[in-house]
A and B are shown apart, each in its own frame.
Chain A
Amino acid sequence: DAGVIQSPRHEVTEMGQEVTLRCKPISGHNSLFWYRQTMMRGLELLIYFNNNVPIDDSGMPEDRFSAKMPNASFSTLKIQPSEPRDSAVYFCASSLPSGSYEQYFGPGTRLTVT
């Protein structure tokens, strides 16, 4: 198995532009998570899905952020419009649908908004 796949690995964009991050979970995993990591705030859970349905999006910072999971093998995290304070590493992770199962993280997307 290739593991969790994220693209792009690096993204540099100007303030105000739309940014779309992509994630392909491990086949057979029903839960998908989006995280953000910064030096100041550490790792933060933004949103997670069970069976393609968003369960908890309380970690999404504001309306500029949105996430979708149109099918079991694909999810996107969109920021529109982007701001410099959105600069961070965004991780996607997947797991079997239970709080006790391991989460497998992707390599992350490093986003820089100038």
Chain B
Amino acid sequence: KNQVEQSPQSLIILEGKNCTLQCNYTVSPFSNLRWYKQDTGRGPVSLTIMTFSENTKSNGRYTATLDADTKQSSLHITASQLSDSASYICVVSPRSNYGQNFVFGPGTRLSVLP
């Protein structure tokens, strides 16, 4: 069964600190892996999209890594800001004829405190 797990479930850090969020998946074969940021009361916003052949991708202070062999991905946030407080969702797309199927992780709730 295709599954995506994320850890930790929630995380509290102080402003300016770095943190890393984890995503483990059993989806195979897979097409791509995405990280979304979702602020409270708003729709998710895409941070990164990686195909199975990519190892790392950055978007400002956000850096995603992917190890297709171990089926693990991480999202590293550098020099956290109060605005980073949000839920971060890992989404994996199984390889299919349509290429649009998605398996969602439960998300990690990040709180950045001053």
Binding site for B on A (CB under 8 A): 4, 31, 33, 42-45, 48, 50, 55-56, 91, 93, 98-108
Contacts and interface: CB of A to CB of B under 8 A. Distances in A.
Contacts of A4: 43
Interface majority SS on B: helix, strand, loop or mixed? loop
Interface in B77-106: 89, 93, 98-102, 104-106
A44 B104 contact: yes
Contacts of B46: 102-104
A100 B49 contact: yes
A101 B45 CA distance: 13
A104 B102 CA distance: 15
Nearest to A49: B100
A93 B49 contact: no
Given A99-B31, A100-B51, A106 B99 contact: no
Contact of B100 (A43, A48, A106): A48
A56 B101 contact: yes
B43 A45 contact: no
Contact of A107 (B32, B43, B89, B106): B43
Nearest to B48: A102
A42 B31 contact: no
B42 interface: yes
A43 B104 contact: yes
A43 B99 contact: no
A31 B98 CA distance: 11
